[in-house]
């Protein structure tokens, strides 16, 4: 493991993790909301926001799948050192990070009738996030919200699977938004 893997974590772990967790929960509770996160700096090509989600939500019992564009030795060493999360195939992933083109066609778990929470949360790396684009409705949204999405049809199909389905974090640089499976997209 190189010394680069040792840096880039939370400088003040209790405070930085608490702030990151709050931002992550806010965007999940309010689909369409875009937040800026800080506190961790993962190695490229992982975005700052994607790295902060992994730092905050992963531990040695949280299997992670890295799509080919994010599956580098530097990223693996950094995740291993800071979270202890094991790496796995798409079929076993609790979290997966990569671009939409890489992740959208893979066989991630969508949960079961008995355990809908045993699904994968995708961390979709985007070029940019904006509050323009697809219209969102559902829990956490007063009337409607809008969010730039890489595709609409796949998110519509995912919402129809509820209570099964995938949850999504969309990241770009230090920005993060979320689209839980309960959100209706048009």
CATH match for 3-185 among 3.40.50.11310, 3.40.30.10, 3.30.450.40, 3.40.50.150: 3.40.50.11310
Rounded to whole angstroms, the Cα distance separating 61 from 58 reads 8
Burial of 164 (0-12, 13-18, 19+ CB in 10 A): middle
Rounded to whole angstroms, the Cα distance separating 17 from 140 reads 23
Rounded to whole angstroms, the Cα distance separating 135 from 170 reads 15
Rounded to whole angstroms, the Cα distance separating 145 from 137 reads 7
Q: What is the pLDDT along the chain (186 residues), one digit of tens a residue?
A: 444 667 777 788 889 989 999 999 999 999 999 999 998 899 999 999 999 999 999 999 999 999 999 999 999 999 999 999 999 999 999 999 999 999 999 999 999 999 999 999 999 999 999 999 999 999 999 999 999 999 999 999 999 999 999 999 999 999 999 999 999 999
């Amino acid at each position: 493991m190189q010394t680069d893997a040792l840096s880039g974590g939370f400088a003040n772990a209790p405070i930085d993790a608490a702030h990151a967790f709050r931002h992550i929960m806010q965007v999940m509770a309010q689909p369409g909301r875009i937040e800026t996160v800080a506190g961790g700096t993962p190695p490229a090509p992982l975005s700052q926001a994607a790295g902060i989600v992994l730092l905050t939500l992963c531990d040695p019992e949280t299997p992670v799948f890295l799509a080919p564009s994010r599956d580098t030795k530097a990223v693996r060493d950094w995740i291993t050192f800071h979270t202890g999360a094991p790496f796995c195939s798409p079929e076993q992933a609790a979290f997966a990070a990569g671009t939409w083109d890489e992740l959208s066609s893979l066989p991630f778990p969508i949960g079961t009738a008995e355990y809908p929470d045993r699904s994968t949360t995708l961390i979709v790396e985007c070029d940019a996030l904006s509050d323009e684009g697809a219209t969102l409705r559902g829990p956490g949204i007063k009337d409607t919200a809008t969010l730039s999405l890489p595709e609409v049809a796949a998110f519509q199909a995912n919402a129809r699977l509820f209570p099964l389905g995938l949850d999504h974090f969309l990241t770009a640089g230090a920005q993060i938004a979320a689209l839980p499976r309960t959100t209706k997209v048009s």
